Amino acid sequence: PTEVDTRVDVARMQRSLEVLAAELARCEAGGPAQLVLSGRLDIDGVQARRIKTAEGAPQAGTWLKEATGYRAGSWAMVALLIHNRPGQQPWTVGQARLTRSNGAPVKVVSLVMDRPQLAPGETGLVVAETEAPSWASSEVLRIELREKDGGRNLVIDAARF
């Protein structure tokens, strides 16, 4: 194109100061209030369950200290407390995979860690949020955390939540 319009039309929605203030307050509200306002926490609430983990040797230089699963109507979440053993390279979470007992994958919608990476000897919390739970709370799932730039993966073979 060799020609350019010199006129730009801009349309903006007219909102009152009160409407804008209410919307800003809703966006800034954190914690449980935001869960209720967003519809992600309803009358059915949230069920939490400690995920039993096998005691044993560290997996690829990491140690799963604790795991908890959370379920609500429109989301589920798993929180994993991970320790990077002394003498290991720093560990950064890259991907979470959850798989149902029938082999079907569970869609992970967000994955966060409470710090950018785990230095040797550090413990950190990794949280993976999934789509609405389509599995029964008694069903066994496989959880796999993959390292961002390496091959150190952490696996829980029999998680129920």
- The answer to whether residues 60 and 87 touch, using CB atoms and an 8 Å cutoff, is no
Q: Is 17 left (phi over 0), alpha (psi -120 to 50) or beta?
A: alpha
How would residue 54 be classed by pLDDT, with cut points 50, 70 and 90? low
| pLDDT of 123 higher than 80 | yes
| HSE toward the beta carbon, residue 43, CA cutoff 13 A | 0
pLDDT tens for each residue of 31-43: 777 777 778 788 8
pLDDT at 25: 62
pLDDT at 42: 83
Does 40 or 77 have the greater pLDDT score? 77
Residues in the chain: 161
Sort 7 into a burial class: Cβ within 10 Å, 0-12 / 13-18 / 19+: exposed
